[in-house]
Structure 1
């Protein structure tokens, strides 16, 4: 076998270490070694994963969960290795879905080796999670990554001392350049073959360690066997972990009674909750280990720290955050619209045909199926791909954490924290990637609240309606007024949703890593994996949905439905009777409202609608039920019930607000 150099160019590294792409090899085979990458967010796990697997990887969801699951294969010394990139977490609590799926995978699936990736520049903070992994007594190797950043900050890490303190192999790496990765995999393979589990030789403070050992001894004597180590279970019982309490209670209720007694003793001694006591002990131990392994040679103020003086400044920070948001909006409306125009021109050969002239079957296939394909292309290419590229840059550069930190107080008013701002902004471009990106939030409740707010944001398709109907035929000021009204509606509906979904608000807890320029290959792969999963959802929905609308049109079903809706569309909203058909076809995609209107009355829309009707129709198109692709992703992420409630809320809000505006506008215009 060719020896891989410690530092090597990325293209050579992938050729040497990675097996050729084979999408059929993702599932682990008999004899494979399974590695799991675990660690805090932003420590470089995904960089390591991408280097090792190349294009031989898939990204999906964990079974029954909405948390991303990345896995792939590569070969090393003739050995086929299956690797899982676990979500970035800070502990094994049950506060987030990411923490639950990570600890369940390690405990139940039992990977051959867990590679715990640390950020060398914040070693003490990362060791808090390392100690929890060691408590689980799993085979593991510690990867001290980003050694270059530590050196830039004036730190030197003695990995030999760290290895001696932790009792597990420790390998230094600079993953972005491929440094140390060969040694890391070699160490992981040796650990897997020797089947050596981590052992906790280090101990906590006197009374805490005494309580842990007493409870651990009781569990062993009563033969309470779980997939987790007895020491880890004992600590979790003292922390009052609800899931572990349930598991142990079903086997030995006396263990719960003993744990409660010991926890109460600790709380009386320390005068604070038991879980806080355990956390303090871990941090104290992590501090001692880090202090013994790292040496500060010379303190250097990095460029990232200099920029942070502006990015998170109490005053200037709001301006820099606003610039990031404005930049996203410019990207949304200028770049997206420019690409959309190019694609629309390229697809100009597609023109809807009249079923009475061309035949119903050809009309269904051309207007429906092929029209849906064209609609999918004009969504994915100009809007979804640029959004995901920009989102990947914001996430990986560290800008996201800064903007989220500054906007946290505002977002808390609707029950969310600052990180929810990014998906909400993306919603102004396209609701589909925006809702998909709510996965960056910690709890399902927060994701659902964010998705609910996103469905009220005027996406690019709704913007087309607003600009084409109001800005062109009324005035640009009335178009801007609709945007202002929409922001007010998002705020009000967010407050109502917050009352309808009571629950504990989650504080903003994020790793604010150093600013850095992301790797282009990481951005491309991350964007491609996200786009690929969405394309599988969007294209079938558009094609089938467009074909069904054409079938309904050919069968003459839309006309009676429109007449049935007349009391609402004509009586309450003051729109022409054909507005019912516009709203029906708009469910497939919002631009169909405008396209169908043009097909009915021609390009001079002012002959068919009054200024008030233009505004009301644009307002209804902006607020009412989301398009089919948005409904599909809502169902995929949150289930049919939640998606239905969101759609009904959109529908009711649109018709209530639209009717009020329709009755008030004649007095002000």
Structure 2
């Protein structure tokens, strides 16, 4: 596929969006240079693994969507040469030369540059559009190797990007370079060899018809000079005189150097690679290299053990806030507001009383969510994000997210879901793929938010025991993993890789953090506050008018027969649609007590907790889903989760009923 027209230097900010075209990028390089890590970072999920047609060599490919470009990334076998002496070399050579990928990304090991450049020089001979990824830059730095990527780029005439693929560093810059290359099609400069070799290459080029054998002319001339059997056979079919002259030139080289022409060419490439490496490389004592703050912190944040401990401590801190501090503040705030006016969802009286009490109940529900949970959560999130840690955490969880068909960025809405599902659903917009975005939103609505947590801790943990509360949480997390993987397989659409910027660490800016916290909170208030107030008025009024009683009768087969709960819990679950912890208020008002163990069995309390965890999201979440994905998706998710809650609740009731 040709590059785009009128690229204007491929300024990414003004790059024309092309969602229909699909570009092909091949990753090529030696074995053990981090090529697979680069491939995984670029593509992330939905990788197709199979064999090349007619070959036993494994082929991996996946889709990257970046800057409005759809890019099919092909991971070529790790090889050291493309002389077609092995099946892997043959596969790589044929794909680059005959399938003509839009860009070839040559992944190099920065700590062994000279050896890797031998392969790079062969790629330049093929004249494919080329981008160089100087990978394992951190390992080179530890060895005291300093590489001048700009100088190497100037010599080769192609973009050169330093990367540390295993840590995700440089991947965003590499992706930008790939996108630019799909437009500019950067052809590598010709690297000249020794005079005896160049004279004979020129002699063969003068005789060689254009496009012989489907390869670039210079490549074909070099292969003829080396006596490559396949190339000689191809050229001999239509130009036997050229093939004979090339073989004679090869014999001349052999007489001059006392080695076969193929050995002479290898020596020339090694010499050129040595000179090229010497020109762009500086060796220092490892102790002389200044270690930046980002590098020091990344030794912990991206460490395979310490990094996960830091991540666990951070997420644990957020959960402690949700479970302990936030719950305590919410209780204090609820007590204070109850002193102003009773917070009671079930009332009788005049219409003004119903409206006032319904509105007040909804207002208190919104306030006791936003103040103790959402604002502190957003504040901590902004601090983590602005400092540079959030990207590292996303990278650490990237592999686990892949198992659910998601990308590491999905951790942001999933973590947000522990505070409130509404902003978590809205934050799914950071995910580019519609399929992955919908999966993330579906899983987010299953995360035990602060309101659901209040129900589990305030009902199951208090009136049964903490172990059953933890069991319900564990069950939900297992469901999230299983359902995520199932949705990934069943939902139509593509999952694409997404690139995460890897910024340097810095002290968060107070003004920026507070501004970001307010912007997120303000957008949430616009959905939550009206939904809670209006929903509370409607449901309170309907109950006071006796309109909800038929619901108990209609839900009797579900609540009583399937779930083994009292008949009046049908109305209780309706109140839970406003906000989940309102099920506690409604349950207490209907039962006439807050000591639920006096009127409910342990089995009923556990089943009630499980159903509350899983059934229909709250009304503000449904509105957020409808805003982001449309009413069809919002109602489908609601119906699916309600059905799941009933099925699992019924199963749990019949499994544990005989034992508790």
Q: Is residue 2:301 matched to residue 1:326?
A: no
Report the count of equivalent residues.
420
Give the 3-state SS of the residue equivalent to 2:370 in structure 1: helix
The residue aligned with 1:115 is none
TM-score by length of 2: 0.57
Q: Which structure 2 residues correspond to residues 622-641 of structure 1 after superposition, within 5 A?
A: 622-641=613-632
The residue aligned with 1:130 is none
**Cα distance 1:354–1:311, how it changes in 2: closer, same or farther (>3 A)?**
closer
The whole-number CA distance in structure 1 between the counterparts of 2:431 and 2:321 is: 23
Q: Is residue 2:438 matched to residue 1:438?
A: no
Q: Is residue 2:583 matched to residue 1:593?
A: yes
Give the 3-state SS of the residue equivalent to 2:69 in structure 1: coil
The whole-number CA distance in structure 1 between the counterparts of 2:184 and 2:478 is: 55
Which of 470, 475, 483 does residue 485 from structure 1 map onto? Answer: 475
Q: Is residue 2:596 matched to residue 1:605?
A: yes
**Cα distance 1:499–1:363, how it changes in 2: closer, same or farther (>3 A)?**
farther
The residue aligned with 1:62 is none
Greater relative contact order (CA < 8 Å, ≥ 6 in sequence)? 2
The residue aligned with 1:6 is none
The whole-number CA distance in structure 1 between the counterparts of 2:219 and 2:447 is: 49
Q: Is residue 2:480 matched to residue 1:505?
A: no
The residue aligned with 2:513 is 523
- The answer to whether the Cα contact below 8 Å between 1:461 and 1:590 also exists between their aligned partners in 2 is yes
State the Cα deviation string for residues 146-192 of structure 1 (Å, max 9, x = none): xxxxxxxx999x9xxxxxxxxxxxxxxxxxxxxxxxxxxxxxxxxxx
The whole-number CA distance in structure 2 between the counterparts of 1:267 and 1:565 is: 74
Which of 394, 402, 406 does residue 384 from structure 2 map onto? Answer: 394
| Structure 1: gaps (5+ residues) | 1-35, 41-88, 97-153, 159-201, 209-261, 272-290
Deviation at 1:37, TM superposition (A): 12
The whole-number CA distance in structure 1 between the counterparts of 2:425 and 2:345 is: 36
Q: Which structure 2 residues correspond to residues 358-437 of structure 1 after superposition, within 5 A?
A: 359-437=349-427
- The answer to whether the Cα contact below 8 Å between 1:353 and 1:363 also exists between their aligned partners in 2 is no
- The answer to whether the Cα contact below 8 Å between 1:363 and 1:550 also exists between their aligned partners in 2 is no
- The answer to whether the Cα contact below 8 Å between 2:346 and 2:586 also exists between their aligned partners in 1 is no
The residue aligned with 1:312 is 302
Deviation at 1:425, TM superposition (A): 2.1
The residue aligned with 1:563 is 553
The residue aligned with 1:661 is 652
The residue aligned with 2:194 is none
The whole-number CA distance in structure 1 between the counterparts of 2:424 and 2:184 is: 46
The whole-number CA distance in structure 1 between the counterparts of 2:535 and 2:517 is: 26
**Cα distance 1:607–1:315, how it changes in 2: closer, same or farther (>3 A)?**
closer
The whole-number CA distance in structure 1 between the counterparts of 2:347 and 2:624 is: 35
Q: Which structure 2 residues correspond to residues 50-449 of structure 1 after superposition, within 5 A?
A: 92-95=67-70, 205=186, 299-349=289-339, 350-352=341-343, 359-449=349-439
The whole-number CA distance in structure 2 between the counterparts of 1:556 and 1:267 is: 84
**Cα distance 1:203–1:418, how it changes in 2: closer, same or farther (>3 A)?**
closer
**Cα distance 1:497–1:324, how it changes in 2: closer, same or farther (>3 A)?**
same
State the Cα deviation string for residues 511-538 of structure 1 (Å, max 9, x = none): 2121112101001111111111111111
Deviation at 1:655, TM superposition (A): 0.3
The residue aligned with 2:136 is none
- The answer to whether the Cα contact below 8 Å between 1:570 and 1:576 also exists between their aligned partners in 2 is yes
The whole-number CA distance in structure 2 between the counterparts of 1:267 and 1:458 is: 60
Give the 3-state SS of the residue equivalent to 2:403 in structure 1: helix
Q: Is residue 2:621 matched to residue 1:621?
A: no
State the Cα deviation string for residues 548-576 of structure 1 (Å, max 9, x = none): 00121122111111111101110010000
- The answer to whether the Cα contact below 8 Å between 1:405 and 1:508 also exists between their aligned partners in 2 is no
- The answer to whether the Cα contact below 8 Å between 2:363 and 2:532 also exists between their aligned partners in 1 is yes
Which of 506, 516, 529 does residue 539 from structure 1 map onto? Answer: 529
Deviation at 1:584, TM superposition (A): 1.1
Which of 576, 596, 600 does residue 566 from structure 2 map onto? Answer: 576
| Structure 2: gaps (5+ residues) | 1-10, 16-63, 72-145, 151-182, 190-210, 221-278
**Cα distance 1:409–1:266, how it changes in 2: closer, same or farther (>3 A)?**
farther
- The answer to whether the Cα contact below 8 Å between 2:323 and 2:450 also exists between their aligned partners in 1 is yes
- The answer to whether the Cα contact below 8 Å between 2:439 and 2:484 also exists between their aligned partners in 1 is yes
Give the 3-state SS of the residue equivalent to 1:589 in structure 2: coil
The whole-number CA distance in structure 1 between the counterparts of 2:479 and 2:428 is: 20
The whole-number CA distance in structure 1 between the counterparts of 2:12 and 2:515 is: 18
**Cα distance 1:570–1:310, how it changes in 2: closer, same or farther (>3 A)?**
same
The whole-number CA distance in structure 2 between the counterparts of 1:464 and 1:372 is: 17
**Cα distance 1:39–1:615, how it changes in 2: closer, same or farther (>3 A)?**
farther
State the Cα deviation string for residues 409-430 of structure 1 (Å, max 9, x = none): 1111110122212321221221
Which of 456, 462, 465 does residue 452 from structure 2 map onto? Answer: 462
**Cα distance 1:268–1:90, how it changes in 2: closer, same or farther (>3 A)?**
farther
The whole-number CA distance in structure 2 between the counterparts of 1:550 and 1:450 is: 33
**Cα distance 1:582–1:356, how it changes in 2: closer, same or farther (>3 A)?**
closer
Deviation at 1:503, TM superposition (A): 3.9
**Cα distance 1:354–1:486, how it changes in 2: closer, same or farther (>3 A)?**
closer
The whole-number CA distance in structure 2 between the counterparts of 1:338 and 1:609 is: 26
State the Cα deviation string for residues 238-260 of structure 1 (Å, max 9, x = none): xxxxxxxxxxxxxxxxxxxxxxx
The whole-number CA distance in structure 1 between the counterparts of 2:554 and 2:527 is: 32
Give the 3-state SS of the residue equivalent to 1:667 in structure 2: coil
- The answer to whether the Cα contact below 8 Å between 1:39 and 1:90 also exists between their aligned partners in 2 is no
- The answer to whether the Cα contact below 8 Å between 1:370 and 1:543 also exists between their aligned partners in 2 is yes
The whole-number CA distance in structure 2 between the counterparts of 1:614 and 1:327 is: 28
**Cα distance 1:268–1:625, how it changes in 2: closer, same or farther (>3 A)?**
farther
State the Cα deviation string for residues 434-480 of structure 1 (Å, max 9, x = none): 22222332322222111111111111111111112111111111111
The whole-number CA distance in structure 2 between the counterparts of 1:394 and 1:381 is: 20
The whole-number CA distance in structure 2 between the counterparts of 1:300 and 1:90 is: 36
Give the 3-state SS of the residue equivalent to 2:657 in structure 1: helix
- The answer to whether the Cα contact below 8 Å between 1:620 and 1:655 also exists between their aligned partners in 2 is yes
